[in-house]
Structures are given as structure tokens and as C-alpha cells.
Amino acid sequence: MSEHLTLSGWLFLMFAWCGILGLNIFCFRKILQEEPDAIVDPMPEELDRDE
């Protein structure tokens, strides 16, 4: 095996790193852009149901 990063090695490294960084940026940007949604009460007095 080559002692240096081959073209395919570089491609795998860049593909993996960029893919993961891209997914992280997509997810956390969406989350941080949203309004803070602190849950104030664990289970409010009224029913914690949608219906």
C-alpha cells in the first residue's frame, strides 16, 4: 500500500469529511435559526396532548 495519500484516498477523505460537515451544518443551522423552544413545564397542568 502506498505510503502517501493516493487520489482515491484524498477523494474518500474529502468526501467523508465534507459530507459529514455538510450534514452537521445543515442540521445545526436549521436548529439554531429556529425560535428558542424551551420546554417550560415537564407536564403542564392541562393535558399534554395534541387532541
Partner 1 sequence: MNKNRDAWGTRIGVILAVAGSAIGLGNFLRFPVKAAMYGGGAFLIPYFIAFVLLGIPLAWVEWTMGRYGGYYCHGSGPGILNAVVRRPWAKYAGSIGVMGPLLIFFYYVYILSWLLGFSWYSLTGELMAAVNNGTVTVFFGDYIGLKTVLFGNVPAALFFFVITFLLNFLILAFGVRHGIETLNKFALPVILVLGLVLFVRVLTIPGIERGLAFMWNPDFSRLSEPRVWLEASGQMFFTLSIGIGAILTYASYVKRRQDILLSSLSACSANEFAEVILGGTIVIPMAIVVYGAANIQEIASMGTFGLGFNTMPIIFGKMPLSALLQFSWFILLFFAGLTSSISVLQPAISFFEDEAGMQRRGALFTAGIISLFMSLVAVFGLEAGAVDEMDFWGGTLLLVMFGTLEAIIFAWIFGTDRGWEELHSGATIRLPGFFRFVLRYVTPLYLLALLTAWLVTDFSKVIMLEGIDPTLQVSFLGMTMAKTSFIWLLRGLLLALLLALNGVIWWIWRRNRIDERLAAIDAGEVTHV
- For partner 1, the binding residues (CB under 8 A) are 1-6, 8-10, 12-13, 16-17, 19-21, 23-24, 27-28, 30-32, 34, 36-39, 41-43, 46-51
* Minimum separation from the CB atom of position 45 to partner 1 (A): 8
Q: Give the angle 4-14-17 at the CA atoms, nearest 5°.
A: 120
Q: Which residues contact 3 (CB under 8 A, 6 or more apart)?
A: none
For residue 10, the minimal CB distance to partner 1 (Å) is 8
- Rounded CA separation 1/32 (Å): 44
**At its nearest, how many Å lie between partner 1 and the CB of residue 7?**
10
